[in-house]
Structure 1
């Protein structure tokens, strides 16, 4: 009997665990270790924020993995020994014959400190109740959504949130009293999707009366004066500030031998193999270079990588076919009125990613809903 270990209970980890279970002999054991005991699709937070559906309605408990023949350990991974394919956790040590690392990403400490001074972390699910309270109290002033640094998780999400909140405030009859703006340190709204998609998004924001401030990196936040000062010396006041911190590798990754010069795991971008034998890495804890940027830190890519990594790990142990990632992927871009545009293409293409934007429509919104339902049902029932 062989043991296989998956670190992380997000998209990449769950996809890898299920693929391992599907391909391995019944007697082999698959274990998932995750610090959280639940799973939800990231964009479900937007629906909660917009008031269209509570996040709880799209949340599943990871203990359901046991029903699929996958052992679940609710614990934090405190150290990784890639050479021996073993880890230390708050539930004790675990060793295996092969491992997929999918521990996600954390938030840059400097940005966390700035947010604690006078803002809300737009991506932090436990902050949603407080954000709702702040939105309900918002009757005038400025709502500022600020991308604080790069890379950050789910590139379209800040813009989706801004447009959905604009629609929420307009429906509440407050739009003429509440100004809305979004800032980003990048030169385009969505560099990873290319100039056409960025231009489309900027036009949508402008048409909704949203101020767009590109090449604006947050320098400081004054919670008493309710102002943000950017590194270019511009200052913006706010009544409510929703911030998106830059992503950083988890400390346990940074401290491991798996980390590359960047601090992230930098696996083979086709197979997701690391420098350690029978150890693969997928999802937000990795840094994957493309011709002009990095592969987006998004669930679609983590899911694809998880399946490929699991397949190749099984081949390492038992032989058989191997898979490679072709660079193709897509992201949903949700707009008010239950419309969704899709950004899709070859993110590995050279000399630049070959990515196209499909115009938004309601059929794509239904497809997005179905996509979430299929994942929840297939991963956790």
Structure 2
């Protein structure tokens, strides 16, 4: 009996075990997933909790029913991976052997890595995050109580989970404050370590114009060094005061990755960006947010990557070359307020471009343009996540990005 061990039952880990359980003969393969928690969180839903648009029960479900029959689930925390022994040690002393290992424990916010963020006395009083379930719920109370002043949306450093989410929060905050009649009493700032609103020029120009139209001030190239009282201080000594700070702390992979000697400075596992095979060991893969591939840490990336990985794993385990090559495909709805959103679709080599998706000319989703259809597409994704993506059912979207329906924008005179 050969053993596949998957660490983490988040988005990527759950899709991997459910997809491969259908592919690998049960009399030949034991598939086990290790997960300390009892609940699965729909993390894209955290964005809506501070504005009262989702309730907590809409973003949290028990893990057990989400794991398919024939997959063994082990509850516990990973202490370290011992590649030389093909073994994973848990913090309670148990030891789990494997023939192949998939690391899918993602990344988590680390506010402790920024001086003053946790230890300055303002955490969950004037400083909040929405990248955790608890943080998003606490921020909901702060947004209800906020009656104007200096609201700052801030990114500590990249990469982060769902890199458009801070932009979405800024747009939704603008909409929320306008509906409450508080926008004219609020100075809204978007502080980013990037030189602009996004990482690629076409999308940056579009998103930057949307921020400007909403009178959201962008503070680019802002690398925070510390928090002092109610001010962000950058390494070049710029200061941004706030009455309410919504921050995205540094995102890091699991600490056991570092203890195992498998990670970089952010505890991300270096992998081949096309096969997701760890550079240090050909029996280890890293899927989803846990690896260092140069694309967005987003659920769509996990979905498209697992599509390629599943076929590759079958061949790799049989000792044959892996036929698939993941191209870094990502697409993300960007909620922009007032019941609208835009969509971006891109990969390693092609930046987000205007057009229609997934059908050329027909869409129904518009790329880099706001529409109500895009907004409803984002909301509908929650159903698809629970009922199609996690169970590993086929989704009629190609894993590889297509240029069909896209076009280069015409430069303005």
| Fold-level similarity (TM above 0.5) | yes
Q: Which residue of 1 aligns with 2:131?
A: 123
Query: Does residue 215 of structure 2 align to residue 209 of structure 1?
Result: yes
Mean Cα deviation higher: 301-310 or 166-175: 301-310
Task: Sort the Cα spacing of 1:322 and 1:208 in 2 relative to 1 into closer, same or farther, 3 A.
Answer: same
What SS is found at the alignment partner of 2:58? helix
Q: Which residue of 1 aligns with 2:300?
A: 300
Q: Which residue of 1 aligns with 2:2?
A: 2
Residue 175 of structure 1 deviates from its aligned partner by 1.5
Question: 5+ unaligned residues in a row in structure 1: which ranges?
Answer: 289-293
What SS is found at the alignment partner of 2:31? strand
Q: Which residue of 2 aligns with 1:77?
A: 78
Distance 2:318 2:160 in 1: 37
Q: Which residue of 1 aligns with 2:397?
A: none
Over the aligned positions, Cα root-mean-square deviation in angstroms equals: 2.2
Selected match of 1:369 from 371, 379, 398: 379
Residue 157 of structure 1 deviates from its aligned partner by 0.4
Q: Which residue of 1 aligns with 2:353?
A: 356
> CA offsets per residue over residues 165-195 of structure 1, 9 Å max, x none?
111121112112222111011101111xx11
TM-score (norm 1): 0.89
What SS is found at the alignment partner of 2:215? coil
TM-score (norm 2): 0.83
What SS is found at the alignment partner of 1:248? strand
Q: Which residue of 2 aligns with 1:234?
A: 238
Task: Sort the Cα spacing of 1:109 and 1:205 in 2 relative to 1 into closer, same or farther, 3 A.
Answer: closer
Task: Sort the Cα spacing of 1:331 and 1:106 in 2 relative to 1 into closer, same or farther, 3 A.
Answer: same
Q: Which residue of 2 aligns with 1:169?
A: 177
Task: Sort the Cα spacing of 1:7 and 1:307 in 2 relative to 1 into closer, same or farther, 3 A.
Answer: farther
Q: Which residue of 2 aligns with 1:95?
A: 97
Residue 102 of structure 1 deviates from its aligned partner by 1.0
Task: Sort the Cα spacing of 1:341 and 1:101 in 2 relative to 1 into closer, same or farther, 3 A.
Answer: same
> CA offsets per residue over residues 247-269 of structure 1, 9 Å max, x none?
22321112223225775211111
Task: Sort the Cα spacing of 1:112 and 1:37 in 2 relative to 1 into closer, same or farther, 3 A.
Answer: farther
Distance 2:111 2:380 in 1: 36
Selected match of 2:151 from 128, 143, 147: 143
Mean Cα deviation higher: 232-241 or 84-93: 84-93
Q: Retained in 2: the 8 A contact 1:100–1:310?
A: no
Q: Which residue of 1 aligns with 2:61?
A: 60
Selected match of 2:253 from 238, 249, 270: 249
Distance 1:6 1:305 in 2: 15
The alignment of Structure 1 onto Structure 2 pairs a total of residues equal to 368
Q: Which residue of 2 aligns with 1:279?
A: 284
Q: Retained in 2: the 8 A contact 1:185–1:215?
A: yes
Highest RCO, 1 vs 2 (Cα 8 Å, sep ≥ 6): 1
Task: Sort the Cα spacing of 1:46 and 1:207 in 2 relative to 1 into closer, same or farther, 3 A.
Answer: same
Alignment of 1:170-209 (within 5 A): 170-191=178-199, 194-209=200-215
Q: Retained in 1: the 8 A contact 2:331–2:344?
A: yes
Distance 1:83 1:125 in 2: 37
What SS is found at the alignment partner of 2:101? strand
Distance 2:225 2:264 in 1: 28
Residue 372 of structure 1 deviates from its aligned partner by 2.4
> CA offsets per residue over residues 109-160 of structure 1, 9 Å max, x none?
6545532122212312211232122222211211111111122221100010
What SS is found at the alignment partner of 1:340? strand
Q: Retained in 1: the 8 A contact 2:109–2:131?
A: no
Residue 319 of structure 1 deviates from its aligned partner by 5.7
Mean Cα deviation higher: 313-322 or 328-337: 313-322
Residue 272 of structure 1 deviates from its aligned partner by 0.9
Q: Retained in 2: the 8 A contact 1:308–1:323?
A: yes
Q: Retained in 1: the 8 A contact 2:268–2:292?
A: yes
Residue 101 of structure 1 deviates from its aligned partner by 0.8
Mean Cα deviation higher: 83-92 or 149-158: 83-92
Distance 1:369 1:271 in 2: 31
Query: Does residue 220 of structure 2 align to residue 218 of structure 1?
Result: no
Task: Sort the Cα spacing of 1:166 and 1:307 in 2 relative to 1 into closer, same or farther, 3 A.
Answer: same
Query: Does residue 50 of structure 2 align to residue 49 of structure 1?
Result: yes
